[in-house]
Amino acid sequence: MPMITLHNVSKAFGDNRVLDGVSLNVEESESRVILGGSGTGKTVLLKVVLGLLRPDNGSIFVDGAEVDLDEPLALFEIRKKIGMCFQMAALFDSMTVTENISFGLSRHTLYSPVQIQSRVDECLSLVGLRGTGDLYPSELSGGMKRRVGFARAIALKPKILLFDEPTTGLDPVMTDVISKVITDLRNELRATTITITHDLKVAFMIGQNISLLHRGSIVASGNPVEFAAIQDPLVQQFIKGTSEGPFLEDSPPKR
């Protein structure tokens, strides 16, 4: 059974259908990358998986349980299995690194203060930030903030990690560091991961399977070798990064 299943999922905002019949299976411990241009519905896809948005049609299953916003207790159990890594880290500016990472631990576990500190130290070590616990977000670089966000996301030992544009705004060196951290976390935790990005290099570095989301639909999927060989004009234009082709052609809003 796949760890994450989306079946015929659609979501519209007014006249704009952002997701249009998306079906997707992500297996246990798989690293799936969702590629796509800006405004193609990638972040919305993560939000329906997490139960932050209600789809207009279709169904989502996580670890065998349906994501149902009308069942808050069941939804809470599903969310405990998911670690969300936000695009700009979304740290609490008034809290130290340790306080940010321990936020969920102090509210959702029975850990003692010593156990919480031990888990925080372990998470910081996993993302290569040992010894930074007393710093505030304002004292961190952009890449460090992302990694603190990752540490917070793994603190409760989730089965699933969702990464929302984890390398946006970072320089090439830090992009490479973040990509390796994501791969290391998946390998170390045996977690299922979905990473959304428009960065082709990142996709090929971390993805075991890659899907292209275009105008609300999955138009192509495959492992990196298979994906690169797909001759669909949309896929080839995105890979080559050229301005001419069907990728930028206007289309009326889907209703």
pLDDT score recorded for residue 249: 60
Are 129 and 139 a contacting pair, CB within 8 Å? Answer: no
Query: Per this entry, what is the length of the chain?
Result: 255
Helices marked H in 24-171 — which ranges? 42-50, 72-79, 97-108, 113-126, 142-154
Residue carrying the six token digits 């206007």: 250
Query: Alpha-carbon distance 197 to 66, whole Å?
Result: 26
Residue carrying the six token digits 């960065």: 199
CATH number of the 4-225 domain: 3.40.50.300
Beta pairing partners, 10: 57
User: Which residue in 133, 155, 134, 33 sits closest to 84, CA to CA?
Assistant: 155
Residue carrying the six token digits 């019949």: 21
Six token digits for residue 153? 């996301």
Beta pairing partners, 11: 19
Domain boundaries along the sequence of the chain: 4-225
Query: Alpha-carbon distance 165 to 142, whole Å?
Result: 13
User: Which residue in 86, 93, 84 sits closest to 140, CA to CA?
Assistant: 93
Sequential pLDDT tens for the chain (255 residues): 899 999 999 999 998 899 999 999 999 999 999 998 877 789 999 999 999 999 999 999 999 999 999 999 999 999 999 999 988 778 999 999 999 999 989 988 899 999 999 999 999 999 999 999 999 999 999 999 999 999 999 999 999 999 999 999 889 999 999 999 999 999 999 999 999 998 999 999 999 999 999 989 999 999 999 999 999 998 999 888 888 777 766 544 444
Are 105 and 112 a contacting pair, CB within 8 Å? Answer: no
Six token digits for residue 241? 């990064």
Residue carrying the six token digits 């079946």: 7
Under DSSP, is residue 173 helix (H, G, I), strand (E, B) or coil? helix
